[in-house]
Amino acid sequence: MENTKNLTGYPSVDKPWLNYYSEEVVSTPLPSRTLYQNILQNNKNHLEDIALNYFGRKISYRTLFYQVEACAKALKQAGVRHGDSVALCTSCTPETAYVVLACSKIGATANFLNPLFTTEQKVARTNETEAELLFVLDKMYSFASEMIEQSCIKRVIVIPATQSLPLPMRIISFLNDKADKILREAIQTKGMFCMWNDFLKEGLSYTEPTEAEYQRDTPTIMVYSSGTTGASKGIVLTNDGVNATISHYQGPDFPYKRGDTYLDYAPVFISTGIIINYLMPVCLGITVILLPEFTAEMLVKGLTKYKPNMVTSTASHWLQAIRSKDMADIDLSAMIYPVAGGEQVLPNVEEEINTFFKSHGCKSRLITGWGMCELGSVVTTTSPRRSKSGSVGYPISRAVVSAFDLESGKEMQYGQRGELRVFTPTRMHGYYKNPEATKEYFHTDDKGRIWGCTGDIGYVDEDGYVFVLGRVTDCYNTSEGICVYNFDIENVILRDKAVALCKVVGVDANGNTVPAAHVILEEGSNEEIATLVRRLDNICHENLESYAIPQYYKIRKAFPVHPNGKRDAEALKMEREGFIGLNGESIQL
């Protein structure tokens, strides 16, 4: 639709991104039904279409809805009621969808435990939900084994990863099965354990209706914050919020047709994994190809075997994939929507990926975006037709994004940076049983709009494109009290073609905090380190204030990783050895 209003200079008023959407997408009312009802409504006249493809086993919508009802009956028979939580420690298998949609159907919440959490975190998060049932994939039992008896869980339903495999593959897998001995023993000796098929059989005796009436803002999925800066928090997503995210893709602006294929190998315990990669395509009649392992090798296997039309990955996995010898002769002509999310996509990385795509017949450039679990998943995105270098795209059709001054809270104009805040119907209902954190995250303005305060620094330009620079907390104060954002320094260093990745942290030097740059070089770089450091120092002197110029460098092979899977900046701050001074000398801090 064309926006003919004169620009006021404020993104939340002008909404220039609406120029990129059709009137149909912007004006169509959001559905007032549960997630289950939404998927059923969109596919009830296409029951023989293929909803899921699991290692060649093609599962129709008819079978999907049958299995959802069977699971719903078993849940009801087990005593799960409207408003209860059910815990999951699973991956991309068909049974995950059955449980999630069954929970939506009966009014319960599918609570996804993050397997990367510590045992203490899993126990604490599970106990606060009072969940009595845990669905665990047999291949992921090691992630849940220690927390079960410390938690409120009373029954464990074990889902074999082979459950929905084609029969020949199931037989071969059974013969080669080296299942966890601890799990085998638990199943045989502990009455609280139950296999998936046996659980479904229990539901055969349930004869009452399973479907709960739609109620606005009913929770349906819960995922968790990373816990990087404190205790992890449950992020409660509602039927309405998930449906609002899906609605963005239900129109002519998203290039799909029924029967297209979407490769899904992402973790289901994050909102993008379960909503964008799994539930959204299932709702739209797109066949989801399920691969339950999040590795670059699995991405390569999926691309070469299935030739999907769509896939969401990370920039890191895309790089590893296109550099794989197994991808040298791949035909990507079927690919119409290749996405990279979850991490920053550097311009040189995007260029390398797009060059590979073009040379192998891909019809689209790399799609990038930005979002967070608290906001339902995706907030901004590029498209096959529209993108801008350095940006994370423009807001999805129902979202409003703008930057706000951190001190005054006033909205910034185009090009002025501040904290990015988002007003969107896809947002979470709140943090589970944590009203203080919920109040801190949301801000209600004088118009009654509820903004999610993302904690990201960035800006919006006159075309509606959003630019994310870094986290509000990614900074340090100099001895003069000047706030220095580490990402400003990193972006300068990353201009050097020899630098693949960079992370700057503030370190103590004789009572003052100064920047230290941790650098990972591009593959094949064999330049003398002293020469490289001098060049980086010159680049920084040309582009940064004196107080923001790194005093120390450390060339490394990899960054430390926090148990939540993210880069561990706090660990970098603690390192004291292996640094290089500006003259190439070795330094111990």
Tell me how far apart the alpha carbons of residues 281 and 434 are, in angstroms, rounded to a whole number.
Answer: 32
Residue 369, SS3 per DSSP: strand
- The string of pLDDT tens digits covering residues 54-66 is 999 999 999 999 9
- Name the domain boundary from 221, 241, 261: 241
- The string of pLDDT tens digits covering residues 41-56 is 999 999 999 999 999 9
Q: What single DSSP character describes residue 276?
A: I
Domain-embedded: residue 103: yes
Higher pLDDT, 229 or 589: 589
Domain-embedded: residue 210: yes
| pLDDT over 80 (residue 129) | yes
Residue 188: partners with Cβ closer than 8 Å, 6 or more residues away? none
| pLDDT over 90 (residue 244) | yes
| pLDDT over 90 (residue 524) | no
Residue 175 confidence (pLDDT): 42
pTM above 0.85, yes or no: yes
List the domain range (segments joined by +) for residue 576: 474-587
The residues pairing with 219 across neighbouring beta strands, listed in sequence order, are 238
- Name the domain boundary from 177, 211, 241: 241
Residue 358 confidence (pLDDT): 96
* Cβ-contact 451, 421 below 8 angstroms: yes
Element (H, E) at 444: strand 442-444
| pLDDT over 90 (residue 454) | yes
Domain-embedded: residue 546: yes
| pLDDT over 90 (residue 4) | no
Domain-embedded: residue 189: yes
Domain-embedded: residue 131: yes
SS (H, E, C) 150-169: CCCCCEEEEECCCCCCCHHH
- Name the domain boundary from 191, 210, 241: 241
First to last CA, the chain: 58
CA distances to 223, 430, 435, 452, 504 from 446, rounded to whole Å, are 30, 20, 21, 15, 38
Please give the average per-residue pLDDT across 406-424, as a whole number: 96
Residues, the chain: 589
- The string of pLDDT tens digits covering residues 509-520 is 878 899 999 999
State what percent of residues in the chain have pLDDT above 70. 95
Residue 80: partners with Cβ closer than 8 Å, 6 or more residues away? 86, 106, 108, 132, 133
CATH number at residue 521: 3.30.300.30
- Mean pLDDT in the chain? 92
Least confident stretch, 94-103, 453-462, 524-533: 524-533
Please give the average per-residue pLDDT across 414-427, as a whole number: 97
| pLDDT over 90 (residue 136) | yes
Domain-embedded: residue 326: no
Residue 173 confidence (pLDDT): 55
Residue 252 confidence (pLDDT): 74
Total domains present in the chain:
2
Tell me how far apart the alpha carbons of residues 484 and 545 are, in angstroms, rounded to a whole number.
Answer: 10
Domain-embedded: residue 167: yes
